[in-house]
Amino acid sequence: GESVGLHLPTLSVQEGDNSIINCAYSNSASDYFIWYKQESGKGPQFIIDIRSNMDKRQGQRVTVLLNKTVKHLSLQIAATQPGDSAVYFCAENMGTDKLIFGTGTRLQVFP
Amino acid sequence: DADVTQTPRNRITKTGKRIMLECSQTKGHDRMYWYRQDPGLGLRLIYYSFDVKDINKGEISDGYSVSRQAQAKFSLSLESAIPNQTALYFCATSDLSGTGTGELFFGEGSRLTVL
């Protein structure tokens, strides 16, 4: 069946380094993708989104890259900070406003 | 105050008991959702509602029911709780807008333990 998944369950990075979190999706009909951040004890929060007619979008310290050829999505966090420690989810919207979530990647930032 | 409020935040119950999780929102959004989160499985959609008269099953609706009492309220019920329904439950809302962005706004979660 269709699925959204992540390559790495846990990513450890040193404070100040850049982080790259990857996501694979299998539904070629998906036209909208979102990255969410979930801190411990809280609900997921929107980080950045991208439509399928784009291949890159930048926010504040974050960049999302979309490669439709290989159905791959990545979230890049520049100058990772301790406050970036969280679980990150990618989600795809197949045009029905129902989001399908991946399993999540835990980002650990160490000094 | 939170825009999406869930009650209770934590609940421990026994097998066979009826449980209701409540969600209220002040965002004025038409669309409301209930998700379940289990370790290693991400978030899975249980039920969703696009307006007060609309209720739709999600991926894992068996064993659950919902009620959309008003635009601002969407409750999730477990008629007879079982241990494998132990999980973290999230309510979410989204805006029915022309952009159709699909961004969801989540509550803080309700942790349910079924013994």
Render chain A in DSSP notation, one character per residue.
---EE-S-SEEEEETTS-EEEEEEE--TT--EEEEEEE-TTS--EEEEEEETT-SEEE-SSEEEEEETTTTEEEEEESS--GGG-EEEEEEEE-SSS-EEE---EEEEEE-
Distance from CA of B109 to the nearest CA of A (A): 6
Q: Determine the pLDDT at residue B102.
A: 64
Contact B102 A41 (CB under 8 A): no
What tens digit of pLDDT does each residue of A43-62 get?
A: 999 999 999 999 999 999 99
Higher pLDDT, residue B62 or A102:
B62
Find the chain A residues whose C-beta atoms sit closer than 8 A to any C-beta of B: 9, 32, 34, 41-46, 49, 89, 93, 97-104
Question: Percent of chain A at pLDDT above 90?
Answer: 68
| pLDDT higher than 80, residue B96 | no
Facing residue for A104 by CB, picked from B31, B42, B94: B42
> Above 80 in pLDDT, residue B97?
no
* pLDDT digit string, tens, across residues A55-82: 999 999 999 999 999 999 999 999 999 9
